[in-house]
Homo-oligomer: A and B are copies of this chain.
Amino acid sequence: MAKPTPLSGFPEWLPDGRIVEQHVLDTLRHTFELHGFAGIETRAVEPLDQLLRKGETSKEVYLLSRLQDEDGPEKLDQQQGREKQLGLHFDLTVPFARYVLENAGKLAFPLKRYQIQKVWRGERPQDGRFREFIQADIDVVGAGELPYHFEVEVPLVIAEALGSLAGIGLPPVRILVNNRRVAEGFYRGIGLDDVEGVLRQIDKLDKIGPEKVSGLLVAECGATEDQAKACLALASISGSDVGVIAEVRALAESHGAVTELLETGLGELEALIAAASERAPGVVVADLKIARGLDYYTGSVYETVLVGHEQLGSVCSGGRYDTLASDGRNTYPGVGLSIGVSRLVSRLLSAELVRATRSVPSAVLVAVSSEEERVVSDAVATALRARDIPVEVAPSAAKFGKQIKYADRRGIPFVWFPGTAGEDGVVGADQVKDIRSGEQVDADAATWAPSEADRWPQVVPVP
């Protein structure tokens, strides 16, 4: 077999890169659980009609077929007469909505859940986009109703989760927030009723600039020059303190555009900014140009950039939706955010911002002096593992220099030498060598331990 080449868009890491990714995943999970979010995992496939429910063909769903059904799509449960095509999920929101409906009677609402899984999108890989990547989502979902305070809580949990990665070298994040009610209230106040159309154009601001957006507002949304100008003026407002609220209100007043909806939205946005400036100072910024393309958001919307890496795009987005799911009897409103973990980790690794201190879990390599005495080395390893120290035993009884090289190549900091019998038959003490400093001391496997920093591989910033 020839050497295989990587598949474009399907990232994989070497063992030390995976240690970084695993650390990121563990850290996110720990923060989510500290906030009471319960983990769930859904199957990777959904019926195609569910995947396309929102008309999301742009996500380029991967369809599944069975190899042995060469001539047609997968036929599931033929005995039930259901012929459903299956596709791989392209996000974790659609599966979660289905899970909520399927299990509604057994779930307790409001439900706070996190979900960390791979998703697949058959997009053109030349955009630098991944076709397979890990998302880490948190959502809060209510049955019938969901109080506004969750729209404040959810981005603060994300701020804490991403903030707790600062120690390993993740750049600071900035969570940009807006509120659909503010935008809609303002547009309607100035006489523009094609709210979705306007949002779609405003969403292009970063890509094509204000002049072209203005032209599109006039051409596509029936705006006058003045209305287009007002929309751009709103979009230009941003700030991390409640002063932005007054700024928006003043702009609306100058256009005679203060509506009840606008006031509701401003009240919500103010509560979010006020809470955030207390609990995560400087992280949350009101940015009135944040539109989010998806039409199902109804309240707060969020995007997140890495400071200094803004061109990477949003690494965590989401918002409030009044209808995550509905089964006719109940409607389930929700609010959530989704972290693009692979995008984050890929940048951390490719920009060499972080590294793992070694490529294996082992803190200690136990040397083997001869195959006959491997059992002695195994016993040392067992004793150390019993005290939660990760250990491996040398693969062969090579010269000690070669065994030390084995440890060195993997970044294992310690090599352990079991005591050997001298000419007088007396077995000497075990010794352990820190191969970084060269220091070698007597040691007892029943009591010796590495420093906590050396016990497990660490993920650290690259200076």
State the A residues within 8 Å of B (CB): 1-8, 10-15, 18-19, 21-22, 33-45, 47-48, 50, 53, 57, 60-68, 74, 76-77, 86-88, 98-99, 101-104, 106-108, 110, 112-113, 118, 120, 122, 132, 142, 147, 149-150, 153, 275, 279, 325-328, 359-362, 371, 374-375, 378, 382, 385, 388-393, 395-396, 406, 409-410, 456
Contact = CB atoms under 8 A, between A and B. Distances in A.
Given A7-B47, A38-B360, A67-B122, 6 more contacts: A7-B43, A18-B38, A38-B359, A48-B67, A63-B67, A65-B65
Given A87-B67, A122-B67, A362 B36 contact: yes
B44 A118 contact: yes
The oligomer's copy count stands at 2
Given A45-B7, A57-B68, A18 B39 contact: yes
20 contacts: A1-B53, A1-B101, A1-B328, A7-B43, A10-B43, A12-B41, A35-B390, A37-B360, A38-B359, A43-B132, A44-B132, A62-B65, A64-B64, A65-B65, A66-B122, A108-B410, A112-B360, A153-B393, A275-B375, A279-B378
A10 B45 contact: yes
Contact of A325 (B1, B375, B390): B1
A98 B120 CA distance: 21
Given A77-B8, A112-B392, A396-B147, A22 B39 contact: yes
B76 A67 contact: no
Contacts of A42: 12
A415 to B, nearest CB: 13
The 10 residue pairs across chains A and B that have the minimum distance between CB atoms: A36-B392, A36-B362, A33-B361, A10-B43, A15-B38, A66-B122, A61-B67, A62-B64, A4-B102, A38-B360
A114 to B, nearest CB: 9
A1 B385 CA distance: 53
A429 B12 CA distance: 53
Nearest to A412: B36
A194 B360 CA distance: 43
